[in-house]
Amino acid sequence: MRIDGATSSDKLRPFFSEEVLLRQVESSTQRRVQDLRIKRIGPRVQVTGRSRTYYAKQLVTQAILNSVPTIELDNEITVCSG
């Protein structure tokens, strides 16, 4: 799909990098997510890692969507008790 002469992927390119998002998420979550990984897959962002709470998982979602509100996000963080 084209928007204003550019694909949705083209619209996202200048707004974020995986490294910048990783730093923002780590700051927002106060490092509550272990093994945090952020990977861009076309127009989508996939986030993986482990957290002890659903709250921390939600903080990840909020941090990314606050930075890039139009992104398609796959939050695959596992919530575990150990």
Q: Where are the domains of the chain?
A: 2-79
Give CA angle at 24 (19, 28), nearest 5°: 150
Tokens of 1: 């799909």
- Which residues have CB under 8 Å from 23's CB, separation 6+? none
More confident position, 81 or 38: 38
Name which CATH class applies to 2-79: alpha beta
The tokens 């992104």 sit on which residue?
71
pLDDT on residue 82: 61
Predicted model pTM: 0.76
Average pLDDT, the chain: 83
pLDDT on residue 45: 92
More confident position, 42 or 78: 78
